[in-house]
């Protein structure tokens, strides 16, 4: 009997003799990320290193509701051979997981399109099966058998303050524990942001069961980490947007918490600011905090933990240790004891730059560096690290620009000259999350290596609106204050954000109003604007000439003084060459395998290609969104790249064994499951990021039937 079968028998025995929840068997894909511990692992081995090259596309499901900028970031789940996923317009659907034939489609008639990364599933009996996902600000509970809504609740409620005019949604599905759905949220990155408290709702009634204040109230632990005793009433953010993991046996929820708002200036939120930028362990029954670990103190760089900390078991000093692992936007890996939250490998509080901050800002003198484990991305950009694949004149240009920026440390403060953020706002690690192989102790993490430039500006210099203006002038000023950070000067688009030139052909005034009132995917809602201000924006952006000539009479809404900051940023800009390539030398995307038992990198590959460099024999990698999956068949599957491919690597060596073209980029994590005796690999092909064409389909691969 081989070792594998032997341990299978032991597992069976353990299951028969115990009432405790069974350890995750990793045979299916019933939860976002594969299993409740979210380790992206599949125990299936029908597809293995010897036959993976014979994988074929077996079905493609077109949702038929994509548009020119739509996306799908969903990691679909599969229950009893039914695959559940979400379309670009946030319709929820059920498919036969073997054939891709639709069973039902539920249409919430969404006007607010948020990024949606998946759904959560609950079952109490065959007739009571429920799915949960978020559309706009509403958490929906949908009957998984019939495809009809059971209830919905507005996530603006229960937050302990009036946030109805602020942006609240949820991108990553909640976690089902017992009869509760536990949910985090995405809120604005601006000063005017809702707090990101974590909440548990009753799956049957939608009633609030518990809340954990990520920005603590007086008397709660962590309250003293905010210098301003009233901060908890005004400051927002500290939201858990990148999903949870769960140790179901012990009833412990692991939650990542993002930075407090406003992202880039903390003068009105001085102090370390717990529980922003923390990994949290909460009692899943009550929401009580067990421990926390802060990965960045007083964050002013938007360094949210981009994925949940995931429970793993590692060998350390000859013993098995239950731990959680967190990969970060900065390229660090934090490995903590699961019970205590104490680092298993050394983490040093290192001195970081303390001068050069904007007036009113107080930088943390030290920051945690995970020094005992390898970093998986470059952490500093200097002249020697610039891109030399472009013509000399372009190299000189990026050298000149770099000389004008502040750079050098992960924690160089935001500045008016421009500060290099590297790794960038989208990592190193991003929301795809890592994969962990419980059999080998290897962790697989994909990373972006793209520098971004953060430039701060005086808010006083921002254009003002007043009643001597025309509606057109006011619209232009409002655009500069509210929209330009993303949509760029002259509405030309910037970074990952679309151009608004010519949108008058796409939107009626009503559609435009509903879009800016409810937000769309990475675009927040602008409920803080008065109707007159929105009218002026519409007149400007939709080029309504008659409207533009009228006199502007709208008064701005009265805003909380906490939201009036002395500084703003010019937005999210990548540091690119004239030709549009990253200003840093390749690799621009990587996949790294780290042995968590030994604390070493086992292999590292460049991930993805630009055709024009590939033809010159240069393997550059591309930015990537969506995570890997590791299988017992010896494979790591990943799409995520901007070259519209899905790939399989040998999990031990990193050798590329298979790749296939997708109809659009698969900016999502694949799902691996068995149905009808076959192993399937499914990936959402939504494109739409990194200026790539949008797609509207889910594609399934399996071994050909003749094998």
* Residues at the contact surface with ligand HEC, assessed by CB under 6 A: 69, 71, 113, 482-483, 485-487, 497-498, 500, 503, 506-507, 512, 515-516, 520-524, 526, 537, 541
Torsion of CA 66, 487, 587, 383, to 10 degrees: 180
Locate tokens 């290099």: which residue?
A: 420
Q: Distance between CA 518 and CA 109 in Å, rounded?
A: 14
Q: How far is CA 617 from CA 459, 585, 612, 614, 624, in A?
A: 48, 15, 9, 5, 21
Shortest spacing between CB 110 and ligand HEC, in angstroms: 11
In residues, how long is the chain? 707
Torsion of CA 85, 87, 90, 96, to 10 degrees: -40
Locate tokens 């706009």: which residue?
A: 136
Locate tokens 């030994």: which residue?
A: 598
- Closer residue to ligand HEC, CB minimum distance, 323 or 541: 541
Q: Distance between CA 415 and CA 194 in Å, rounded?
A: 26
Shortest spacing between CB 523 and ligand HEC, in angstroms: 3
- Closer residue to ligand HEC, CB minimum distance, 55 or 486: 486
- Closer residue to ligand HEC, CB minimum distance, 156 or 520: 520
Asked if 703 and 45 touch (Cβ cutoff 8 Å), the reply is no
Shortest spacing between CB 571 and ligand HEC, in angstroms: 7
Asked if 297 and 364 touch (Cβ cutoff 8 Å), the reply is yes
Shortest spacing between CB 573 and ligand HEC, in angstroms: 12
Contacts of residue 286, defined as CB under 8 A and 6 or more positions apart, other chains included, come to 210
Shortest spacing between CB 661 and ligand HEC, in angstroms: 24
Angle at 530 between CA 529 and CA 534, to 5 degrees: 75
Q: Is 206 exposed, middle or buried (0-12, 13-18, 19+ CB in 10 A)?
A: middle
Q: Distance between CA 605 and CA 575 in Å, rounded?
A: 23
- Closer residue to ligand HEC, CB minimum distance, 272 or 533: 533
643: its two tokens: 């070259």
* Residue (of 308, 293, 304, 173) closest to 239 by Cα position: 304
Shortest spacing between CB 609 and ligand HEC, in angstroms: 25
- Closer residue to ligand HEC, CB minimum distance, 412 or 569: 569
- Closer residue to ligand HEC, CB minimum distance, 110 or 639: 110
Shortest spacing between CB 538 and ligand HEC, in angstroms: 8
Shortest spacing between CB 307 and ligand HEC, in angstroms: 21
Shortest spacing between CB 262 and ligand HEC, in angstroms: 12
- Closer residue to ligand HEC, CB minimum distance, 476 or 645: 476
The reply to whether omega before 262 is within 30° of 0 (cis) is yes
467: its two tokens: 């009643």
- Closer residue to ligand HEC, CB minimum distance, 222 or 475: 475
Shortest spacing between CB 539 and ligand HEC, in angstroms: 11
Contacts of residue 242, defined as CB under 8 A and 6 or more positions apart, other chains included, come to 172, 184, 256, 258, 304, 305, 306, 307, 308, 431, 433
- Closer residue to ligand HEC, CB minimum distance, 23 or 532: 532
Shortest spacing between CB 405 and ligand HEC, in angstroms: 22
Locate tokens 């073997």: which residue?
A: 98
573: its two tokens: 């800009």
- Closer residue to ligand HEC, CB minimum distance, 295 or 547: 547
- Closer residue to ligand HEC, CB minimum distance, 186 or 487: 487
């Amino acid at each position: 009997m081989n070792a594998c079968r032997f341990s299978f028998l032991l597992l069976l025995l353990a299951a028969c003799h115990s009432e405790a929840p069974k350890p995750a068997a990793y045979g299916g894909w019933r939860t976002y990320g594969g299993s409740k511990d979210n380790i992206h692992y599949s125990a299936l081995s029908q597809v293995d290193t010897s036959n993976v090259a014979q994988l074929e596309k077996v079905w493609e499901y077109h949702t038929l509701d994509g548009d020119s900028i739509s996306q799908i970031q969903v990691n679909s789940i599969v229950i009893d051979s039914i695959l559940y996923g979400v379309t670009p317009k946030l319709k929820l659907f059920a498919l036969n997981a073997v054939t891709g034939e639709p069973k039902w489609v539920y249409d919430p008639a969404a006007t607010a399109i948020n990024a949606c990364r998946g759904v959560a599933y609950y079952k109490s009996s065959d007739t009571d099966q429920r799915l949960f996902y978020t559309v706009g600000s509403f958490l929906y509970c949908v009957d998984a058998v019939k495809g009809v809504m059971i209830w919905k609740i507005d996530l603006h409620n229960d937050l302990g303050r009036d946030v109805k005019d602020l942006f609240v949604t949820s991108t990553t599905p909640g976690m089902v524990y017992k009869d509760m759905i536990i949910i985090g949220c995405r809120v604005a990155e601006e000063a005017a942001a809702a707090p990101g408290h974590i909440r548990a709702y009753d799956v049957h009634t939608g009633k609030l069961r518990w809340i954990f204040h990520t920005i603590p109230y007086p008397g709660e632990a962590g309250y003293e980490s905010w210098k301003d005793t009233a901060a908890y009433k005004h400051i927002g953010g500290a939201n858990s947007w990148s999903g949870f993991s769960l140790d179901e046996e012990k009833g412990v929820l692991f939650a990542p918490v993002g930075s407090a708002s406003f992202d880039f200036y903390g003068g009105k939120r001085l102090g370390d600011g717990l529980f922003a930028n923390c990994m949290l362990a909460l009692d899943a029954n009550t929401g009580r905090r067990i421990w926390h670990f802060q990965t960045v103190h007083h964050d002013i760089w938007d360094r949210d933990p981009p994925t949940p900390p995931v429970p793993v078991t590692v060998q350390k000093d000859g013993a098995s240790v239950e731990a959680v692992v967190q990969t970060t936007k900065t390229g660090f890996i934090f490995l903590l004891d699961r019970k205590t939250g104490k680092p298993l490998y050394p983490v040093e509080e290192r001195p970081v730059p303390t001068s050069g901050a904007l007036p009113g800002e107080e930088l943390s003198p030290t920051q945690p560096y995970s020094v005992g484990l390898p970093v998986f991305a470059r952490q500093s950009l200097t002249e020697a690290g610039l891109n030399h694949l472009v013509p000399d004149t372009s190299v000189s240009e990026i050298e000149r620009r770099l000389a004008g920026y502040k750079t050098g440390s992960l924690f160089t403060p935001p500045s008016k000259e421009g500060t290099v953020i590297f790794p960038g706002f989208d990592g190193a690690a991003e929301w795809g999350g890592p994969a962990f192989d419980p059999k080998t102790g290897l962790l697989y993490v994909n990373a972006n290596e793209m520098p971004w430039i953060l430039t701060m500006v005086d808010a006083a210099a921002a254009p003002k609106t007043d009643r001597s203006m025309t509606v057109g002038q006011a619209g232009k000023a409002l655009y500069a204050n509210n929209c330009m950070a993303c949509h760029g000067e002259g509405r030309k688009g910037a970074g990952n954000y679309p151009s608004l030139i010519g949108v008058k052909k796409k939107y009626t005034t009503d559609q435009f109003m509903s879009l800016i009132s409810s937000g769309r995917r990475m675009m927040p809602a602008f409920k803080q604007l008065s109707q007159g201000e929105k009218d002026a924006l519409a007149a400007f952006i939709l080029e309504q000439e008659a409207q533009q000539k009228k006199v502007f009479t709208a008064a701005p809404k009265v805003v909380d003084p906490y939201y009036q900051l002395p500084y703003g940023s010019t937005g999210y800009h990548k540091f690119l060459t004239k030709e549009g390539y990253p200003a840093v030398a390749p690799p621009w995307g990587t996949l790294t395998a780290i042995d968590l038992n030994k604390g070493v990198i086992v292999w590292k590959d460049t991930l993805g290609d630009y055709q024009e460099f590939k033809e010159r024999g240069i393997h550059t990698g591309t930015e990537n969104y969506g995570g890997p999956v590791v299988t017992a068949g010896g494979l790591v599957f990943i799409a995520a790249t901007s070259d519209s491919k899905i790939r399989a690597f040998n999990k031990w060596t990193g050798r590329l064994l298979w790749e296939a073209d997708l109809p659009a980029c698969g900016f999502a994590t694949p799902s691996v499951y068995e149905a009808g005796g076959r192993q399937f690999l499914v990936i959402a092909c939504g494109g739409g990021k990194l200026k790539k064409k949008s797609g509207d389909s889910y594609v399934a691969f399996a071994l050909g039937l003749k094998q």
